[in-house]
A = this chain, B = another copy of it.
Amino acid sequence: MAEMAKKYAFGIDLGGTTVKIGLFSGEGELVYSHEIPTRTENGGVKILPDIAEAVREDMEKYSIGKEQLAGIGLDVPGPVVKESVVIRCVNLGWGVFNAADELKKLTGIENIKAANDANAAALGEMWKGGGRGHDSIVMVTLGTGVGGGIIVDGKIVSGANGAAGEIGHMMVREDETDVCGCGKCGHLEQYASATGIARVGRKMLAASDQPSALRDIDHVSARNIFDAAKAGDALALDIVEEVCRVLGNALAAITTVTDPEVIVIGGGVSKAGPILIETTKKYYRKAAFHAAEDCEFALAELGNNAGMFGAVKMIL
């Protein structure tokens, strides 16, 4: 019998607490995935050796020789340039170094590419998620913060400083006096992240005496706000309008730059579903350049696996 020509590749999503390791077929099917803890002590010196060891074990377990492996895609929680050099990952204790080269030395595997995690997630969603069938997308992740990823012609835009897609730090309100996590004021993250939505909500509650179910809740969350809005609470609906207006305007600004085929919205806040998408789209269409007015909106589909899929896509 002829030797199987089938190849494999790893997609590895390196997070602050766990590393998700995915073994994929050459056709892009997930064969097996598992997690190992991220050991961040001592400046994170053990992280890459741990990953190399896990890769070695997986290859042994599945009897995969190096000649059958297309390579390893790795995403990290920090800026990456030239598909290899990590600028700094505060959560991992890492400074500036070539993570791809380091992992090559540890594994003996030649083809290794690295990316920022939000960017990899965007590539994953383009490939197998909400952006399926497109090769030019903008992904915005509304979680604790606001992350973003820009894909042009099927490739991650990483930027001169690894800061492409940092749309959470687009200044959207010049008169804001509250400070963003980055130290500046009026950034998108302060309005459209889970914590940002809660902040806007609490401010709007304090600024009016309109009755609202939200007033019975001790520490109002983004989820409380969307739930109350869906139940018809007028003030909650106003908060949703305000948040989606800021987000829709920002997305319209972004599309004047790369004019994507689709905008994919992910992260915990995206669980709010159609009310979030439709309200954001309403303001987007109002602000957008006419040629990009009909840009599609989609919800992300891969959840926490998006990074792993995007990481391996860099290789396949």
Tell me the residues in window 146-170 of chain A with beta carbons closer than 8 Å to chain B beta carbons: 148, 150, 152-153, 155, 157-167, 169-170
A287-316 Cβ-contact flags toward B at 8 Å (1 or 0)? 101111001000000000000000000000
| Contact of A136 (CB < 8 Å), options: B159, B256, B259, B292 | B159
Task: Determine how many copies of this chain the complex contains.
Answer: 2
The verdict on A171 contacting B257 (CB below 8 Å), with A159-B136, A160-B136, A184-B290 known, is no
> Is A260 an interface residue, CB under 8 A from the partner?
yes
Interface residues of A in 244-291 (CB under 8 A from B): 249-250, 252-261, 286-287, 289-291
Measured in the bound complex, the distance between the Cα atoms of B137 and A159 in whole Å is 10
Interface size counted on chain A using CB atoms at 8 A: 45
A183 lies within 8 A of chain B by Cβ: yes
Q: Does A79 contact B (CB under 8 A)?
A: yes
Give chain B residues whose Cβ lies under 8 Å from the Cβ of A252.
170-171
If A152-B157, A253-B171, A258-B257 touch, whether A291 touches B163 (CB-CB below 8 Å) is yes
Indicate if the CB atoms of A171 and B287 lie closer than 8 Å: yes
Q: Can you report 14 residue pairs joining A to B where beta carbons are below 8 Å apart?
A: A79-B291, A87-B291, A148-B256, A157-B258, A160-B259, A160-B261, A161-B291, A161-B292, A163-B255, A163-B289, A170-B257, A170-B289, A184-B287, A253-B253
What is A's interface to B at a CB cutoff of 8 Å? 79, 87, 136, 148, 150, 152-153, 155, 157-167, 169-171, 174, 182-184, 249-250, 252-261, 286-287, 289-292, 295
